A = this chain, B = another copy of it.
Amino acid sequence: MIHVIIIDDHDLFAEGMKSMFKTKDGIEITHHISNGHALPALLEQVKADVLLMDIDMPEIDGIATMELIQKQGIHIPTLMLTMHQSMRQVKGALEKGAQGYILKDASKKELVEAIVKTSKKENYFHPKINDQVFDYFRGKNKNNSGIQGLSEREKEIIRCLAGGQNSKAIASNLFISEHTVKTHRRNIMHKLNVKTSAALIRLAIEKGIIELA
């Protein structure tokens, strides 16, 4: 029997997981906590074979929670659970030594497989995220230099774009040549690896470059 502790702020989800596993699955959710802060204390009292860790939690997220227990010298195979396929999260989870990564739209069968593999310290990645992961690790440099690599001037131009200005308007606004604006735009799009200004604005908002009203 694999003993699992689930860390998830969505109580309903955790409750559901508890109910889902029957003895014949060889898996039992023994404990549930909804806040990562409580995990170290719990682990001093009970033993677990696998941690089923939600990544997206408000106070302390799954990655920070792993960090927390690892600092205390505790190492339990951990399966990260998420709704999003954010590359940043996958990366963070891997860096902290997560054994596997599975999406909340997986099937029960897949989850069982993931938990079993995790308990054996094997790696499991949900099929749906595979391509993304591999793409990421192939093209590592570019993705990372992205936002941080933008200069202040470039961010300024992004904000102008989001305000509906075209290159000519931006040029006259900033007292520079339209050629310069176009050069900046090109560099920005190259750095962020987008091909349309629509995608650029979306990314910029996601990354907090643009403040929404």
A34, A198, A200, A205 interface centre (most CB from chain B within 10 Å): A198
The answer to whether A213 and B86 touch (CB under 8 A), given A19-B19, A196-B164, A202-B201, is yes
Q: Is the CB of B83 within 8 A of A83?
A: yes
Rounded to whole Å, the gap between the CB of A12 and the closest CB of chain B is 5
Q: Is the CB of A196 within 8 A of B161?
A: yes
Number of copies: 2
- Give every chain B residue within 8 A of A141 (Cβ-Cβ): none
Rounded to whole Å, the gap between the CB of A128 and the closest CB of chain B is 12
Closest to A102 in B: B12
A interface with B by C-beta (< 8 Å): 9-13, 15-20, 34, 56, 83-86, 103-108, 111, 161-166, 194-202, 205-206, 210, 212-213
List 4 extra interface pairs beyond A86-B213, A163-B199, A201-B205, CB under 8 A. A12-B106, A12-B107, A16-B18, A206-B213
Nearest 3 pairs of A and B residues by beta carbon = A16-B16, A164-B199, A19-B19
